[in-house]
């Protein structure tokens, strides 16, 4: 992580996980959007993986990043719906030390303006695990745009006020 000088924004190391039984690197539009969006804001694209919608594969990928002190944030796309295989919330929630309830609430409020009541089928969630912030959003590129522009971008921006999650993530710097 690049340390801020004075009021300069901080660059975070961010990993992206796509949860899908069908996506490949060639057609992972949501994961690729998130990678580009975080880089456009000056963050480091630390790593990216695609895993099938399986509780244990999701946990294995996340656990590796959560245990790595160099990873500050993880963006997870996919597996947050209600279909038979959607299991991202069940996989991720037990890893959280603290939930960020407001993320799902704000995401669904923003999404309601775009897709109406269909937003109730999103189980978007976020939390902290071992001082790593994790945001889980639906798998559509549109939903990733909504989550990024409406919440995540500002919360990973050290200059956003009155508060953001970068100050909480700085705990990892002092462990170093």
- pLDDT computed for residue 3 by the predictor: 42
pTM comes to: 0.92
Residue 6: which region, alpha, beta or left (left: phi > 0; alpha: psi -120 to 50)?
left
Domain residue limits, the chain: 13-169
- pLDDT computed for residue 7 by the predictor: 61
- pLDDT computed for residue 8 by the predictor: 66
Is 53 within 8 Å of 20 (Cβ atoms)? yes
- pLDDT computed for residue 2 by the predictor: 40
| pLDDT per residue of the chain (176 residues) written in tens, 0 to 9 | 344 444 667 899 999 999 999 999 999 999 999 999 999 999 999 999 999 999 999 999 999 999 999 999 999 999 898 888 899 999 999 999 999 999 999 999 999 999 999 999 999 999 999 999 999 999 999 999 999 999 999 999 999 999 999 988 865 554 44
- pLDDT computed for residue 83 by the predictor: 85
CB contact burial 5-44 (16+ within 10 A = b; e otherwise): eeeebbbbbbbbbbbbeebeeeebbbbbbbbebbeebebb
- pLDDT computed for residue 9 by the predictor: 74
Domain 13-169 has CATH 3.40.980.10: yes
């Amino acid at each position: 992580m690049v340390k801020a000088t004075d009021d300069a924004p901080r660059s975070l190391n961010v990993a992206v996980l796509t949860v899908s039984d069908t996506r490949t690197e060639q057609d992972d539009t949501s994961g690729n959007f998130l990678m580009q969006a975080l880089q456009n804001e000056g963050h480091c694209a630390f790593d990216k993986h695609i895993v099938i919608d399986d509780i244990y594969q999701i946990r294995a990928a996340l656990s590796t990043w959560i245990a790595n002190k160099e990873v500050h944030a993880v963006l997870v796309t996919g597996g947050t719906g209600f279909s038979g295989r959607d299991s991202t919330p069940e996989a991720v929630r037990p890893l959280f030390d603290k939930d960020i309830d407001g993320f799902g609430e704000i995401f669904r409020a923003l999404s309601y303006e775009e897709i109406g009541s269909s937003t109730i089928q999103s189980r978007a969630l976020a939390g902290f695990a071992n001082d790593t912030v994790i945001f889980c959003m639906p798998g559509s590129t549109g939903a990733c745009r909504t989550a990024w522009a409406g919440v995540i971008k500002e919360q990973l921006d050290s200059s956003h006020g009155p508060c953001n999650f970068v100050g909480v993530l700085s705990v990892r710097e002092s462990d170093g």
